[in-house]
Amino acid sequence: MDEDAVRRFVDELSETDVSRLRAGASGFDGAGDHGIATIRDAEEVTEERLAMYTLCVDAMNFCFWPDHSAGETLKLEYEHLTAGWRRALEREEDFGDLLDASRLSKITGEELRALMKWPRPLPNEEERVRLLREVGYGLVEHFDGSCSALIRAANGSACRLVDLVVMHFPGFRDESVYRGRQVFLYKRAQIFVADVWGTWKAAGLGAFQDIAQLTMFADYRVPVTLREVGILAYSEELLVKIENKVEIPSHSEEEIEIRACTVHAVELIKKRFVERYGQEICSIVVDWLLWEKGEAKRETSIEPHHRTLTIFY
Protein backbone atom coordinates (compact mmCIF):
# COMPACT_ATOMS: atom_id res chain seq x y z
CA MET A 1 0.00 0.00 0.00
CA ASP A 2 1.56 3.29 -1.13
CA GLU A 3 0.20 6.20 0.93
CA ASP A 4 2.06 8.73 -1.23
CA ALA A 5 0.08 7.37 -4.19
CA VAL A 6 -3.11 7.79 -2.16
CA ARG A 7 -2.29 11.45 -1.62
CA ARG A 8 -1.47 11.99 -5.29
CA PHE A 9 -4.68 10.31 -6.41
CA VAL A 10 -6.89 12.40 -4.12
CA ASP A 11 -5.02 15.67 -4.67
CA GLU A 12 -5.20 15.27 -8.46
CA LEU A 13 -8.92 14.50 -8.67
CA SER A 14 -10.72 16.63 -11.21
CA GLU A 15 -13.17 19.28 -10.03
CA THR A 16 -15.95 17.16 -11.48
CA ASP A 17 -14.88 14.09 -9.51
CA VAL A 18 -14.57 16.09 -6.29
CA SER A 19 -18.04 17.56 -6.81
CA ARG A 20 -19.55 14.12 -7.46
CA LEU A 21 -17.94 12.64 -4.36
CA ARG A 22 -19.23 15.57 -2.30
CA ALA A 23 -22.73 15.10 -3.72
CA GLY A 24 -23.02 11.52 -2.44
CA ALA A 25 -25.92 9.48 -3.82
CA SER A 26 -27.04 12.21 -6.22
CA GLY A 27 -23.66 12.33 -7.94
CA PHE A 28 -23.70 8.84 -9.44
CA ASP A 29 -26.78 8.02 -11.52
CA GLY A 30 -25.05 5.33 -13.55
CA ALA A 31 -23.38 3.42 -10.72
CA GLY A 32 -25.95 4.13 -8.06
CA ASP A 33 -29.07 2.90 -9.79
CA HIS A 34 -27.87 0.49 -12.50
CA GLY A 35 -28.57 3.13 -15.15
CA ILE A 36 -32.33 3.28 -14.60
CA ALA A 37 -32.58 7.02 -14.07
CA THR A 38 -34.75 7.25 -17.19
CA ILE A 39 -37.42 4.91 -15.84
CA ARG A 40 -37.15 5.39 -12.08
CA ASP A 41 -39.77 8.13 -12.01
CA ALA A 42 -42.14 6.57 -14.55
CA GLU A 43 -45.68 6.30 -13.20
CA GLU A 44 -45.98 2.59 -14.01
CA VAL A 45 -42.84 1.64 -12.06
CA THR A 46 -43.89 0.85 -8.51
CA GLU A 47 -41.64 1.06 -5.50
CA GLU A 48 -41.88 -2.69 -5.00
CA ARG A 49 -40.90 -3.56 -8.56
CA LEU A 50 -37.96 -1.17 -8.47
CA ALA A 51 -36.77 -2.74 -5.21
CA MET A 52 -37.15 -6.24 -6.66
CA TYR A 53 -35.27 -5.20 -9.79
CA THR A 54 -32.37 -4.00 -7.64
CA LEU A 55 -32.24 -7.19 -5.57
CA CYS A 56 -32.42 -9.44 -8.64
CA VAL A 57 -29.53 -7.64 -10.32
CA ASP A 58 -27.40 -7.88 -7.19
CA ALA A 59 -28.25 -11.53 -6.67
CA MET A 60 -26.71 -12.26 -10.08
CA ASN A 61 -23.89 -9.71 -10.02
CA PHE A 62 -20.83 -11.93 -9.81
CA CYS A 63 -18.11 -13.68 -11.78
CA PHE A 64 -18.42 -12.91 -15.48
CA TRP A 65 -15.89 -15.60 -16.31
CA PRO A 66 -15.22 -18.26 -17.40
CA ASP A 67 -17.30 -17.48 -20.46
CA HIS A 68 -16.75 -19.99 -23.22
CA SER A 69 -17.85 -17.34 -25.70
CA ALA A 70 -14.68 -15.37 -25.00
CA GLY A 71 -13.57 -15.66 -28.61
CA GLU A 72 -16.91 -14.38 -29.90
CA THR A 73 -18.38 -10.91 -30.13
CA LEU A 74 -21.01 -11.62 -27.47
CA LYS A 75 -19.60 -11.95 -23.96
CA LEU A 76 -21.63 -11.62 -20.77
CA GLU A 77 -21.01 -8.35 -18.94
CA TYR A 78 -22.70 -6.53 -16.08
CA GLU A 79 -24.73 -4.36 -18.45
CA HIS A 80 -26.38 -7.47 -19.91
CA LEU A 81 -27.79 -8.28 -16.46
CA THR A 82 -29.17 -4.80 -15.95
CA ALA A 83 -30.62 -4.63 -19.46
CA GLY A 84 -32.41 -7.95 -19.02
CA TRP A 85 -33.97 -7.03 -15.71
CA ARG A 86 -34.90 -3.58 -17.01
CA ARG A 87 -36.92 -5.32 -19.70
CA ALA A 88 -38.68 -7.36 -17.01
CA LEU A 89 -39.31 -4.15 -15.07
CA GLU A 90 -40.82 -2.35 -18.05
CA ARG A 91 -42.56 -5.03 -20.11
CA GLU A 92 -44.44 -7.72 -18.24
CA GLU A 93 -46.14 -8.89 -21.42
CA ASP A 94 -42.84 -10.36 -22.64
CA PHE A 95 -42.06 -12.46 -19.58
CA GLY A 96 -45.00 -12.52 -17.22
CA ASP A 97 -44.24 -11.04 -13.80
CA LEU A 98 -40.74 -12.39 -13.19
CA LEU A 99 -40.39 -9.77 -10.47
CA ASP A 100 -43.01 -11.58 -8.38
CA ALA A 101 -41.23 -13.39 -5.53
CA SER A 102 -43.26 -16.59 -5.92
CA ARG A 103 -42.50 -16.72 -9.63
CA LEU A 104 -38.87 -15.90 -8.98
CA SER A 105 -38.59 -18.83 -6.54
CA LYS A 106 -39.25 -21.16 -9.50
CA ILE A 107 -37.26 -19.44 -12.24
CA THR A 108 -35.44 -21.71 -14.70
CA GLY A 109 -32.26 -21.30 -16.66
CA GLU A 110 -34.27 -21.14 -19.87
CA GLU A 111 -36.37 -18.26 -18.53
CA LEU A 112 -33.28 -16.42 -17.38
CA ARG A 113 -31.64 -16.82 -20.79
CA ALA A 114 -34.78 -15.42 -22.45
CA LEU A 115 -34.69 -12.46 -20.07
CA MET A 116 -31.03 -11.82 -20.88
CA LYS A 117 -31.61 -12.49 -24.60
CA TRP A 118 -28.70 -14.93 -24.30
CA PRO A 119 -28.34 -17.64 -26.97
CA ARG A 120 -26.67 -20.29 -24.79
CA PRO A 121 -26.22 -21.20 -21.10
CA LEU A 122 -24.95 -18.24 -19.09
CA PRO A 123 -21.61 -18.41 -17.31
CA ASN A 124 -22.30 -20.01 -13.92
CA GLU A 125 -25.95 -20.26 -14.91
CA GLU A 126 -26.90 -22.88 -12.33
CA GLU A 127 -25.59 -20.72 -9.51
CA ARG A 128 -27.28 -17.57 -10.82
CA VAL A 129 -30.62 -19.35 -11.09
CA ARG A 130 -30.20 -20.94 -7.67
CA LEU A 131 -29.52 -17.57 -6.05
CA LEU A 132 -32.55 -15.99 -7.72
CA ARG A 133 -34.74 -18.81 -6.45
CA GLU A 134 -33.25 -18.34 -3.00
CA VAL A 135 -34.18 -14.65 -3.06
CA GLY A 136 -37.73 -15.41 -4.15
CA TYR A 137 -38.16 -18.12 -1.52
CA GLY A 138 -36.68 -15.98 1.27
CA LEU A 139 -38.96 -13.07 0.49
CA VAL A 140 -42.05 -15.30 0.39
CA GLU A 141 -41.15 -17.04 3.65
CA HIS A 142 -40.14 -13.99 5.70
CA PHE A 143 -41.43 -10.79 4.09
CA ASP A 144 -44.75 -11.75 2.48
CA GLY A 145 -43.03 -11.80 -0.89
CA SER A 146 -42.10 -8.12 -0.70
CA CYS A 147 -38.63 -6.67 -1.21
CA SER A 148 -39.75 -3.24 -0.03
CA ALA A 149 -40.93 -4.92 3.20
CA LEU A 150 -37.43 -6.37 3.61
CA ILE A 151 -35.92 -2.90 3.24
CA ARG A 152 -38.39 -1.32 5.65
CA ALA A 153 -37.67 -4.02 8.23
CA ALA A 154 -34.21 -2.46 8.63
CA ASN A 155 -35.80 0.71 10.06
CA GLY A 156 -33.50 3.05 8.18
CA SER A 157 -30.28 1.25 9.08
CA ALA A 158 -27.93 0.25 6.27
CA CYS A 159 -26.07 -2.11 8.61
CA ARG A 160 -29.28 -3.77 9.73
CA LEU A 161 -30.33 -4.28 6.11
CA VAL A 162 -27.00 -5.97 5.37
CA ASP A 163 -27.66 -8.24 8.36
CA LEU A 164 -31.15 -9.10 7.12
CA VAL A 165 -29.90 -9.92 3.63
CA VAL A 166 -27.19 -12.29 4.82
CA MET A 167 -29.57 -13.78 7.39
CA HIS A 168 -32.30 -14.71 4.92
CA PHE A 169 -30.34 -15.24 1.69
CA PRO A 170 -27.37 -17.58 2.30
CA GLY A 171 -25.92 -16.85 -1.13
CA PHE A 172 -24.96 -13.37 0.11
CA ARG A 173 -22.85 -14.72 3.01
CA ASP A 174 -19.46 -13.56 1.78
CA GLU A 175 -17.38 -14.93 4.64
CA SER A 176 -13.88 -16.44 4.89
CA VAL A 177 -11.31 -17.50 7.45
CA TYR A 178 -7.88 -15.85 7.26
CA ARG A 179 -5.15 -17.31 9.43
CA GLY A 180 -7.66 -18.43 12.02
CA ARG A 181 -9.75 -15.24 11.99
CA GLN A 182 -13.16 -14.78 10.42
CA VAL A 183 -13.40 -12.19 7.66
CA PHE A 184 -16.75 -10.71 6.56
CA LEU A 185 -16.58 -8.79 3.28
CA TYR A 186 -20.25 -9.01 2.21
CA LYS A 187 -19.70 -7.45 -1.21
CA ARG A 188 -23.09 -8.21 -2.77
CA ALA A 189 -25.09 -7.60 0.42
CA GLN A 190 -23.51 -4.18 0.83
CA ILE A 191 -23.87 -3.29 -2.83
CA PHE A 192 -27.59 -4.06 -2.65
CA VAL A 193 -27.98 -1.62 0.24
CA ALA A 194 -25.87 0.96 -1.59
CA ASP A 195 -27.93 0.52 -4.75
CA VAL A 196 -31.13 1.15 -2.79
CA TRP A 197 -29.50 4.27 -1.34
CA GLY A 198 -28.45 5.39 -4.80
CA THR A 199 -31.69 4.52 -6.59
CA TRP A 200 -33.81 6.48 -4.10
CA LYS A 201 -31.19 9.23 -3.78
CA ALA A 202 -30.86 8.77 -0.02
CA ALA A 203 -34.61 9.39 0.48
CA GLY A 204 -37.66 7.14 0.93
CA LEU A 205 -36.58 3.51 0.96
CA GLY A 206 -32.99 4.70 0.56
CA ALA A 207 -32.88 6.93 3.63
CA PHE A 208 -30.22 5.21 5.78
CA GLN A 209 -28.84 7.11 8.75
CA ASP A 210 -25.70 4.94 8.95
CA ILE A 211 -24.77 4.57 5.28
CA ALA A 212 -21.24 5.80 6.03
CA GLN A 213 -20.56 2.59 7.98
CA LEU A 214 -20.57 0.43 4.86
CA THR A 215 -17.25 -0.38 3.21
CA MET A 216 -16.47 -0.43 -0.49
CA PHE A 217 -17.46 -3.55 -2.43
CA ALA A 218 -14.41 -5.78 -2.64
CA ASP A 219 -14.35 -7.26 -6.13
CA TYR A 220 -11.98 -7.78 -9.06
CA ARG A 221 -12.37 -4.46 -10.97
CA VAL A 222 -11.42 -1.85 -8.34
CA PRO A 223 -8.06 -3.47 -7.45
CA VAL A 224 -7.01 -3.04 -11.09
CA THR A 225 -7.69 0.70 -10.92
CA LEU A 226 -5.86 0.99 -7.61
CA ARG A 227 -2.84 -0.81 -9.08
CA GLU A 228 -2.84 1.41 -12.15
CA VAL A 229 -2.65 4.56 -10.00
CA GLY A 230 0.08 3.04 -7.84
CA ILE A 231 -1.88 2.62 -4.61
CA LEU A 232 -1.79 -1.18 -4.52
CA ALA A 233 1.32 -3.26 -5.18
CA TYR A 234 1.45 -7.04 -5.48
CA SER A 235 4.27 -9.41 -4.70
CA GLU A 236 6.16 -10.66 -7.73
CA GLU A 237 4.76 -14.16 -7.21
CA LEU A 238 1.15 -12.92 -7.11
CA LEU A 239 1.68 -10.56 -10.03
CA VAL A 240 2.96 -13.38 -12.24
CA LYS A 241 -0.15 -15.43 -11.44
CA ILE A 242 -2.50 -12.56 -12.26
CA GLU A 243 -0.71 -11.59 -15.46
CA ASN A 244 -0.84 -15.21 -16.63
CA LYS A 245 -4.52 -15.46 -15.63
CA VAL A 246 -3.84 -18.26 -13.18
CA GLU A 247 -6.90 -18.85 -11.00
CA ILE A 248 -6.56 -17.53 -7.43
CA PRO A 249 -8.60 -19.94 -5.28
CA SER A 250 -11.63 -18.59 -3.49
CA HIS A 251 -10.97 -18.11 0.25
CA SER A 252 -7.20 -18.41 -0.26
CA GLU A 253 -4.89 -16.03 1.61
CA GLU A 254 -3.99 -14.25 -1.63
CA GLU A 255 -7.60 -13.66 -2.58
CA ILE A 256 -8.58 -12.40 0.88
CA GLU A 257 -5.53 -10.11 0.97
CA ILE A 258 -6.37 -8.54 -2.40
CA ARG A 259 -9.91 -7.82 -1.28
CA ALA A 260 -9.02 -6.64 2.24
CA CYS A 261 -6.29 -4.33 0.94
CA THR A 262 -8.79 -2.86 -1.50
CA VAL A 263 -11.12 -2.04 1.37
CA HIS A 264 -8.23 -0.48 3.32
CA ALA A 265 -7.13 1.56 0.31
CA VAL A 266 -10.57 3.13 0.00
CA GLU A 267 -10.52 4.02 3.69
CA LEU A 268 -7.17 5.79 3.14
CA ILE A 269 -8.63 7.65 0.17
CA LYS A 270 -11.54 8.81 2.34
CA LYS A 271 -9.15 9.98 5.06
CA ARG A 272 -7.08 11.97 2.57
CA PHE A 273 -10.22 13.47 1.03
CA VAL A 274 -11.17 14.92 4.42
CA GLU A 275 -7.66 16.34 4.85
CA ARG A 276 -7.59 17.84 1.36
CA TYR A 277 -11.17 18.99 0.84
CA GLY A 278 -12.55 19.25 4.37
CA GLN A 279 -15.55 16.98 3.90
CA GLU A 280 -16.23 13.40 4.93
CA ILE A 281 -17.48 11.08 2.20
CA CYS A 282 -18.68 7.50 2.32
CA SER A 283 -16.90 4.48 0.91
CA ILE A 284 -19.74 3.80 -1.52
CA VAL A 285 -19.10 6.85 -3.69
CA VAL A 286 -15.34 6.23 -3.72
CA ASP A 287 -16.07 2.69 -4.92
CA TRP A 288 -18.43 3.96 -7.63
CA LEU A 289 -15.83 6.45 -8.86
CA LEU A 290 -13.05 3.83 -8.97
CA TRP A 291 -15.38 1.31 -10.63
CA GLU A 292 -16.35 3.83 -13.31
CA LYS A 293 -12.69 4.60 -14.02
CA GLY A 294 -12.00 0.88 -14.35
CA GLU A 295 -14.99 0.27 -16.61
CA ALA A 296 -13.99 3.16 -18.86
CA LYS A 297 -10.68 1.39 -19.49
CA ARG A 298 -12.02 -2.18 -19.54
CA GLU A 299 -11.11 -2.79 -23.18
CA THR A 300 -7.77 -0.96 -23.14
CA SER A 301 -6.30 -1.59 -19.69
CA ILE A 302 -3.02 -3.47 -19.70
CA GLU A 303 -3.71 -4.67 -16.16
CA PRO A 304 -5.65 -7.95 -15.96
CA HIS A 305 -7.90 -8.59 -12.98
CA HIS A 306 -7.34 -11.53 -10.68
CA ARG A 307 -9.33 -14.64 -11.51
CA THR A 308 -11.33 -16.20 -8.69
CA LEU A 309 -14.28 -18.47 -9.39
CA THR A 310 -16.84 -17.34 -6.79
CA ILE A 311 -20.46 -16.32 -6.35
CA PHE A 312 -19.53 -13.39 -4.13
CA TYR A 313 -18.19 -10.92 -6.72
- In the residue annotation, 17 being an active-site residue is answered as no
Q: Which of 58, 174, 219, 287 is catalytic?
A: 219
Residue 266 has pLDDT above 70, yes or no: yes
The structural domains of the chain, with segments of one domain joined by +, span 3-296
Give the pLDDT mean for 224-250: 95
Q: How far apart are CA 29 and CA 25, in angstroms?
A: 8
Specify the pTM.
Answer: 0.92
H-assigned helices in the chain: 3-11, 15-23, 29-32, 37-40, 47-60, 78-90, 92-95, 101-104, 109-116, 125-143, 147-152, 158-168, 187-199, 222-228, 236-243, 253-277, 283-296
Query: Tens digits of per-residue pLDDT, 194-225?
Result: 999 999 999 999 999 999 999 999 999 899 99
Query: Tens digits of per-residue pLDDT, 152-190?
Result: 999 999 999 999 999 999 999 999 999 999 999 999 999
